[in-house]
Amino acid sequence: MNYEVFVHADLLQGVVPKSGLQRRLIFEFLESLKRQPDQPGDFVEKDATLRELQIKIVGKYAITYWVDSPVRKVMVVDISLAD
């Protein structure tokens, strides 16, 4: 059974390109999280609650997410241009 992936609308409207290769890569990665939510990121950070946040570089963007396994959800908390 697939997980649900949640992304705040502000990230999709304000950060993710409206079209093109970068948008396609981002959405392909988000779709892959539904099937394989525990895939590791390229980096790991901890938030204020010490929750591990996975950071995956996808094209020119860094996508930050965490997995809530008991409720089968992936929470995408940031999408930004990678440094």
Q: What is the CATH number of the domain that holds 76?
A: 3.30.2310
Mean pLDDT per 10-residue section of the chain, whose length is 83 residues: 93 91 97 96 96 97 97 97 91
How many helices (H) and strands (E) would you count in the chain?
Answer: 2, 5
Count of domains forming the chain: 1
Identify the pLDDT of residue 1. Answer: 77
pTM recorded for the entire structure:
0.93
Give the C-alpha separation, 10 to 25, whole Å.
18
Q: Are strands 73-81 and 43-46 parallel, antiparallel or unpaired?
A: unpaired
Identify the pLDDT of residue 4. Answer: 98
Domain limits for position 72: 4-81
